[in-house]
Structure 1
Amino acid sequence: MRTTISKVKDFVGQDVTIGTWLANKRSSGKIAFLQLRDGTGFIQGVVVKDEVSEDVFQKAKALTQETSLWVTGTVREDVRSPFGYELTVKDIEIIHEAINYPITPKEHGVEFLMDHRHLWLRSKRQHAIMKIRDEIIWSTYEFFHNNGFVKVDPPILTGTSAEGGSELFHTKYFDEDAYLSQSGQLYMEAAAMALGKVYSFGPTFRAEKSKTKRHLIEFWMIEPEMAFVEHEESLQIQEQYVSYLVQSVLSRCQLELKSLGRDVSKLENIKPPFPRITYDEAIELLHKKGFNDIEWGEDFGAPHEVAIAEEFDKPVFITHYPAKIKAFYMKPDPNRPEVVLCADLIAPEGYGEIIGGSQRIDDLELLKKRYEEHNLTGGAYEWYLDLRKYGSVPHSGFGLGLERTVAWITGAEHVRETIPFPRLLNRLYP
């Protein structure tokens, strides 16, 4: 019976054949232990000299790392194994012998591992992170589908910047200028006016010359937009969504979390409601903690976000930032126009901002004024004004960065481990 490692629990006491690679091995005289992987998981194969032919035993002892195999054996329960099962090997058929596999079971430098990212993905740690990333993606679709959202795919090639910034990748679109999208948000607002509650899930690009452990040049964003939803309701949806992601990983990825050594007690607490502080309160808190260099009206950097997050054991919303440091489309607080109805969600344990969101301006004249203040006049944004001309409604939205969220939930030190092939300031290979 052919099966996969993830399904061996259904075949206890039976003989199965699995297509695998040899991740590692050790032997002691009359027994060989093979660490096998097949993409769905890892299992130990035990080869006992007295129970197999001499040819099979010698073959097992001579196997090299990452050689591909058909392994046949009996599935046994094993309470000592994190997986809970092992394979008593009866036969081995070599598919392809790997010679001098470069990533050996020892310490390697980051640059070496990044140069061999196409192979580093095979390691147990990277496998676990990618499985958890997949669970977060699946849970995202599940959450929004179950809550009445429609998935809409905005363009990647655009004629403008969503946020009016300069950190754009420029290209030619025949005889026009075009840019790789920083965000699908503006298009998602148009979709929300047609479909009510929508979300996008796709790659975004920032030509930001940053080398921090939080930044990638190419990353994936989940961007919901919601018609007839105001700031308060949007915050509630955000905390429900993030909690759903965390609880789904806890429910379905216990083996991967254990493999990573993640302290799950810190994740079990991630349930609504999340704490909230205003920008004003955040400034006061930072001053109390010795950050006297930051003044009202300045944006927070990574050290500030970490210092604020240290005060909470859940993600914390920082709300009502000054309008002058936020995007042109954010709605001013009617009771205090110098701040906007927005929030950044800061993850605990030093992982920084994972969500940025706001209520959007729905008044045509105010948006026109913002256009002028941000030098956005011209034809490129006319269609966005149309959304306020024809049946404008209160609406809100937010964007969650997938890789930062994966880093936080898995406990990864750097976002380069949370995407299959990271694009960094000085890395476009492999």
Structure 2
Amino acid sequence: MSSMVWWREAERIVDIFRSKPIGDIVIVRGWIYRLSRIGGVAFIGIRDGSGYIQVSLKRSVAPSLFEIVDKLSVEDVVAVRGVVVEDKRAPGGLEVRAQDIEVISKSSVWPITRSAVKSIGFLFDKRHLWIRSPRVRSILKIRSEVCRLIREYMDENGFVEFHSPIFVKSACEGGATLFPVEYFGNTVYLTQSAQLYQEAAIATFGRVYTLGPCFRAEKSRTRKHLTEFWQIECEIAFADLDEDMRILEELLVYVCRGVADRCREELDILGVDFKPPTPPLPRITYTEALEIARSRGSETVWGEDFSSRDESLVSSIFDKPFFVTHYPASTRSFYHMLDPHDPRLTLSFDLIAPEGYGELATGGQRISDYDTLVKRIDEQRLPRGSFSWYLELRMYGCPPHSGFGMGIERLVRWICKLPSVRMAIPFPRTPDRFEP
């Protein structure tokens, strides 16, 4: 049998651990992530994307194979045929005793070593290689599961996935943070949010969600900001502020419980003891939150938006995410509905994580009246012409409606207890980083 045949019949490592075929001959293939020798025994750690397994080989049993092992290095791609045995000392309690080894692809000397890593910047320069590490893999696997769980919840609760455009003509969150793109003689922008288009879609589907990238030309160099990030955004016809927060709370709890259940191995690798929040989540008003922050040393005055420090000060009294509601109109975008009981306020909220991780989501009730929306656009000195189609939605049957957006990287950062959102996305984009 040719070598090109036998290793193509390999099993996925995760399937070996599921079926535990003790005594059977299996074929595994993948990348070497660890090599060690103890006396006359060699140990090879192999990963294939689905999991990790240990391969062992005794020099006395197969001296010719040991010659191959002596030439192996980390990140070589190999195939191994051998017998599955139980061994409590091996990761997962199983290992493969090698009978045959073939090198599929040789690796150059691995550049990410303890002596080579002088700064976090070096690791991000080598991000295309760094994502192979067990720690980064675990973070990205959790991110993938977060997105899967979001879609599960949305699909099970009557939401339709809606795809909005990336190229847009008008701003959603402020013109100062737009990325301009030359578009066949015109200037368009990379989308900041799917919200405005979702508000069109609710007249078709009632409930819609979008899970995709957004772009903001913010020069913020903080642990919480990226110029390209992903959001789950949803819009709900006939929903008021309370209904909006209820759905977000349900979604968050569903996702967190799912991650805790499905990603135990990844959380263990990260050393994170993640406990999903139990509902109900606390709710306080902006004014109440400001009083808490000022009592702890904040100098923010009423009518100003909260700083990251303010959010941290308020979060110190909570052990789970909490809602801050009814922000002043001066801190909110033009589309937020004003509180009918106090027009200084909006029917809006932020969802803030504990332990100083900051804002996870923002949302609220939208303005559904044409004249009120025009007034808000004018007050914020925005060009009416850029929102002509959005205004037109109010002319042809526009019920009360609400929505929210939650950042995927911020959610993953909080779950995984990461120092920065840059760790929560495969290839982060910041004002200073746009490669690899």
TM-score norm. by structure 1 comes to 0.96
Q: Secondary structure at the match of 1:376?
A: coil
Of 218, 221, 233, which aligns to 1:223? 233
Match of 1:54 among 31, 55, 63: 63
CA deviation after TM superposition for structure 1 residue 164, in Å: 3.0
Picking from 294, 311, 325, the partner of 1:287 is 294
Q: Check if 1:96 corresponds to 2:105.
A: yes
Equivalence map 1:292-371=2 (5 Å): 293-371=299-377
| 1:49 Cα offset (Å) | 2.3
Measure how far apart 1:107 and its partner are: 7.1
Query: Structure 2 counterpart of 1:414, which letter?
Result: S
Q: Distance in 2 between matches of 1:388 and 1:84?
A: 63
Residues 1:417 and 2:426 are matched in the alignment = no
Show CA shifts across 1:170-198 (max 9, x none). Answer: 01111221000011110011111211000
Structure 1, gaps ≥5 residues long: none
What code does the residue aligned with 2:106 have? E
Alignment of 1:34-53 (within 5 A): 34-51=44-61, 53=62
Report what 2:11 is aligned to: 3
C-alpha distance after superposition, 1:31-56 (max 9, x if no partner): 112121111122222222233x2121
Residues 198-238 of structure 1, C-alpha deviation per residue, up to 9 Å, x if partnerless?
00111100110111111111011111000011100110100
Per-residue CA deviation, residues 77-114 of structure 1 (Å, 9 max, x unaligned), is 44455534332222211011112111136672211111
CA offsets per residue over residues 252-273 of structure 1, 9 Å max, x none? Answer: 1100000000022xx23x1221
- Contact 2:54–2:91 (CA under 8 A) maintained in structure 1: no
Show the 5 A alignment for 1:182-193. Answer: 182-193=192-203
Name the CA distance, whole Å, in 2 between partners of 1:82 and 1:396: 48
Shift of 1:76: 3.1
Contact 1:316/1:346, CA 8 A, preserved across alignment? yes
1:12: which partner in 2? 21
SS in 2 for 1:83: helix
Moved more, 335-344 or 89-98: 89-98
Out of 272, 279, 297, the position equivalent to 1:272 is 279
1:162–1:182 Cα contact (<8 Å) kept = yes
Matched, 1:71 2:80: yes
Shift of 1:323: 0.6
- The one-letter amino acid of 1:7's match is D
SS of the equivalent of 1:241 reads helix
Q: Provide the TM-score with structure 2 as the length reference.
A: 0.94
The count of residues paired between Structure 1 and Structure 2 equals 425
- Separation (CA, whole Å) in 1 of partners of 2:63 and 2:341: 83
Cα 1:416–1:84 shift into 2, 3 Å: farther
Cα distance in 1 for residues equivalent to 2:132 and 2:383: 50
> Alignment identity in percent?
44
Structure 1 stretches of 4+ with a deviation exceeding 6 A read: none
CA gap 1:350/1:88 in 2 versus in 1, 3 angstroms: farther
Q: Aligned AA for 1:33?
A: F
Whole-Å separation in 2 of the counterparts to 1:34 and 1:157: 48
